[in-house]
A and B are shown apart, each in its own frame.
Chain A
Amino acid sequence: MTSATLAPAVDTVADLTPAVDPVAVTATHLVRRYVPAQQVIHWIGVISFFMLLLTGVALLFPPLSFLAKGGTSGVVHRIGAVAFILLPALYMLRMPRKALELVRESFTYGREDWEWFKHMPGYIFGSTRNLPPQGRLNAGQKLHHAATFLMFNSVAISGLLMWFAKGQLGPDGLSAIVIVHDISMLGLSVMMIGHVYFTFLYGALSGMVTGKVSEEYARMEHRKWYESLQPETPGAAEKTEARSAE
């Protein structure tokens, strides 16, 4: 799955088509990309993130401050916070190998990743043709995960301080902590917008709904990963699932 040498940039569209059973190409075959537990954890993350974002924005954007009156939004914010903060622990307990791999992969960059970043502007505008073949995560996703990992920590730590050390922070402590909290959440929100953008641009939503993505998507965006899943004999779809879902 990993090769030290950089694969030559794909010049023609024909190069994008790997040698694969021709029948499988025309029928929309699906490849399993996530196991159900990953999907559940992801959706807990989505729900808690938006609970936090909306109740948080009520304290940030004065015209929306009426949503915060009475303190109910504060309670919702804390319920969301508990779910959000426990997510990594849940992932770690349920799938320690996958969780560690995600962290390790997100902080490991090779030549192909730098090559990918060079063509990132094209990727943002919907073009995958100049991208070097990527593994399970493309370079952009790695960077996204790495930044999320860092900002998750800063938003969670500053939030916990505001929750449990309120009244003891003092004017300087409070202003430093709210600035960290707000900027972290700004970063996470902008990345969330980008995340949703790429999901819909490249039609990858099914990955988190059914756990499967189209072979076309896998081939165009994660060619190295896709090829590593190829069954030896045509029609062995079950085998593909079993291998990627382990």
Chain B
Amino acid sequence: MATRYAFSIDLDRCIGCQACVVSCQAGNELADGEAYIHVGEQIRGKGSTLWGSFDHHRCFHCADAPCVAACPTGTLTKWNGLTVVDREKCSACGYCTDACPFKVPHIVDNHVSKCVACLDQVKEGQAPWCARTCPSQAIHFGDRETILAEAKAKVAALKARHPNAQVYGETQLGGLGLLMILLDAPEVYGLPVDPKAPAAMQVWQNVVQPASSGLSVLAAGVMGLMFVFARRQHGKERAEHERVAKEEVARKTAQPELKETQHD
């Protein structure tokens, strides 16, 4: 079985320095203003109840990725647990921007813009730029089993300080390829507790799309075949129609024309 890669982001370790954002932009040579990672902050309460945490908005690499299901051109595909991007194929249709339950993909300069999992780096055995750059070792990358076990151990250790700490992404959408170590409930971070890929999306890709192209081609083929027979039948009818019309003419006009008609 193929490797299943995953990221983990430990929000307890994250110091919000934006180093991952910058190394991602530099390593992937992103256009000005384009970013695959957005680091924000969550602050609640005042004084003694003050609570704060950074949060990361970026691709979760869902196993059952709705963006992959929606992508009509094969730009977005799954590769060893990661949702990878072949920008060359993108038509900028933007279906992925609506399909994603996390509102991650965007269209920038006529192509999709989202985390590409630094595929070139990973294929060479290196970790993605964000994981390699993080100065507080909040971002990890590797085999999903190992990453998940580490994340769970970290959460167990966090429970004393943060009773609601949890790993987000173990089971959602077939298991996310980015496991987030949260200090509180997902809602606090604006994350859907149980994101779902709509069943209709599968129906569309697996039934409607092939049926549409198949049935149109079938209709054209069948009608092409029928045309041969139908045209012959119609030709016979037209000839009869014409014969009757000519007889009518012959009956009503002079004899010489009758001869001509009979010649037919």
Contact = CB atoms under 8 A, between A and B. Distances in A.
Interface of A: 13-14, 16-17, 22-23, 25-26, 57-62, 65-66, 68-71, 73-74, 124-129, 166-176, 178-179, 182-183, 185-186, 189-190, 193-194, 197, 200-202, 216, 219-220
B99 interface: yes
B237 A69 contact: no
B120 interface: no
B216 to A, nearest CB: 5
B212 A183 contact: yes
Interface stretch (B132-140, B179-187, B196-204): B196-204
Contacts of B231: 126, 200-201
29 contacts: A16-B241, A17-B241, A17-B245, A57-B213, A59-B93, A60-B72, A65-B74, A68-B91, A71-B91, A71-B92, A74-B93, A125-B229, A126-B232, A126-B233, A166-B94, A167-B94, A171-B98, A171-B196, A171-B197, A172-B200, A175-B200, A175-B204, A178-B204, A179-B204, A179-B208, A186-B216, A193-B216, A197-B226, A200-B227
A23 B249 contact: yes
B248 A216 contact: no
B244 A14 contact: yes
Contacts of A57: 213
B237 A68 contact: no
A109 B226 CA distance: 28
B203 A179 contact: yes
Contacts of A68: 72-73, 91, 93
B234 A174 contact: no
Chain B interface bracket (under 10, 10 to 19, 20 to 34, 35 or more): 35 or more
B211 interface: yes
A201 B200 contact: no
Nearest to A58: B91
Contacts, number: 169
Contacts of B94: 166-167
Contacts of B255: none
A182 B88 CA distance: 25
Given A71-B110, A125-B233, A174-B99, 7 more contacts: A25-B248, A68-B93, A125-B230, A127-B237, A175-B198, A179-B208, A186-B211
B238 A216 contact: yes
B221 to A, nearest CB: 10
Contacts of B249: 22-23, 25-26
Q: Which 5 A-B pairs have the closest CB atoms?
A: A68-B91, A126-B233, A126-B230, A126-B234, A174-B98
Interface string B236-250: 011011101110110
Contacts of B89: 65-66, 69
Contacts of B122: none
B238 to A, nearest CB: 7
